[in-house]
Amino acid sequence: MTDPRFGRSAGSLLHRLRPVPVDPADLRDVALEVLPDLATPRLRVVLADDRVDGPVVVVREDERTLRTPLRDLAEDMTAAGVRPTPGALAAALCSWVAHRPVPDASAAADGVAVLDWADGRRVALGWRVVVRRDDVALPWTPAPSTDPAAAARLRAAATARSAAVETELRVEGPVALWSHPAVPLLASAPFAAPERVLDRVAGAGLAMPDMQVVLTPGRPVAGAVAGVAARLAESTGEPCLRLPLRALPTLPWL
pLDDT value for 4: 85
SS3 59: strand
Phi–psi pair at 184, nearest 5 degrees? -55, -35
- 193 and 236, same domain (yes or no): yes
- 91 and 123, same domain (yes or no): no
Which neighbouring-strand residues pair with 45? 59
Residues 62-82: pLDDT tens digits?
Answer: 999 999 999 999 999 998 889
Number of domains comprising the chain = 3
- 94 and 146, same domain (yes or no): no
Q: Walk across the sheet containing 54-61 and list its strands.
A: 43-50, 54-61, 64-69
- 145 and 78, same domain (yes or no): no
**Of 161, 183, 206, the domain-final residue:** 161
pLDDT value for 120: 87
pLDDT value for 141: 94
Q: Which helix (H) or strand (E) holds 156?
A: helix 148-162
**Of 57, 75, 98, the domain-final residue:** 98
pLDDT value for 20: 87
pLDDT value for 14: 52
- 200 and 182, same domain (yes or no): yes
Higher pLDDT, 49 or 16: 49
Whether the per-residue pLDDT at 253 is higher than 60: the answer is: yes
**Inter-CA distances, 98 with 7, 102, 160, 171, Å:** 10, 10, 25, 35
- 83 and 114, same domain (yes or no): no
Whether the per-residue pLDDT at 100 is higher than 80: the answer is: yes
- Averaged over 94-109, what is the pLDDT? 96
- 184 and 139, same domain (yes or no): no
- 235 and 213, same domain (yes or no): yes
Whether the per-residue pLDDT at 38 is higher than 80: the answer is: yes
Residues 212-241: pLDDT tens digits?
Answer: 999 999 999 999 999 999 999 999 889 999
Q: Which helix (H) or strand (E) holds 19?
A: none
Residues 78-92: pLDDT tens digits?
Answer: 988 899 999 999 999
- 120 and 140, same domain (yes or no): yes
Are 116 and 124 within 8 A, CB to CB? no
d(CA 59, CA 225): 47
Are 232 and 221 within 8 A, CB to CB? no
Higher pLDDT, 2 or 177: 177
- 76 and 15, same domain (yes or no): yes
- 152 and 82, same domain (yes or no): no
pLDDT value for 16: 54
Query: Whole domain around residue 173: which residue ranges?
Result: 168-250
Whether the per-residue pLDDT at 158 is higher than 70: the answer is: yes
- 152 and 72, same domain (yes or no): no
Beta-strand pair 168-172/64-69: unpaired
Give residue 142's pLDDT band: very low, low, confident or very high (50, 70, 90).
Answer: very high
